[in-house]
Amino acid sequence: MLAYLFVLAAVAVHLRFVAMPFSFTPVAAALLFFGARMPRKQMWVPVALLIASDVYLTRVTYAYPLTADHFVTWAWYAAMLLLGGVLIKGFSALRIGAASLTASVSFFLISNFAVWMVWRDMYPKTVNGLMTCYVAGLPFFRPEVVSDLLFCAAFFGIGYLVSQHAAEPASVPVSRNLR
């Protein structure tokens, strides 16, 4: 249930704060957590919700056409769920931190490459054009890394605390013999 709650929070933040240039978003953390905690047969749910929010933002909010770079982002959503599934083998701060950094770096590299490939008038189709595209994305990279690390720590930390609390036996009041 917690995994669905985190995905809904990520979609809500994605829809509300996407126009902010340096917004923190819990999208990667929610996908990693969902992938780590939920069965694979349910992994279509967060992907569908995030795709729907992307389509809404692109078509309704910004009135842009859907382009091939969206499909790259949607494939990245699925890949992060699968990466989260790898975390099941052992929850540790190192594994979660590595997955979070992998999410940040992979999104930066893949999404900027897709923009360079798809948006023909933005950057020349040369190595210099690709490097220019990556440099243009750098101001967004640092906040992305920070937010991914913070949200992963929060989500996995909350998940751990909830699971530990649920595993504790209920305390039974000690009855006193009043004779």
pLDDT at 50 over 60: yes
pLDDT at 20 over 50: no
Distances (CA, A) of 30 to 166, 176, 179: 21, 48, 56
Q: What's the mean pLDDT in 62-75?
A: 92
Report whether CATH 3.40.30 matches the domain 2-158.
Answer: no
Most trustworthy range by pLDDT among 14-18, 19-23, 151-155: 151-155
Cβ burial, residue 90 (10 Å; 0-12/13-18/19+):
exposed
Please identify which residue in the block is written with the tokens 């950057």: 123
Higher pLDDT, 88 or 133: 133
Domain ranges of the chain: 2-158
Q: What's the mean pLDDT in 111-139?
A: 94
Instruction: Report how far Cα 66 is from the mean position of its chain's Cα atoms.
Output: 21
pLDDT at 119 over 60: yes
CA atoms within 13 A on the CB side of 64: 13
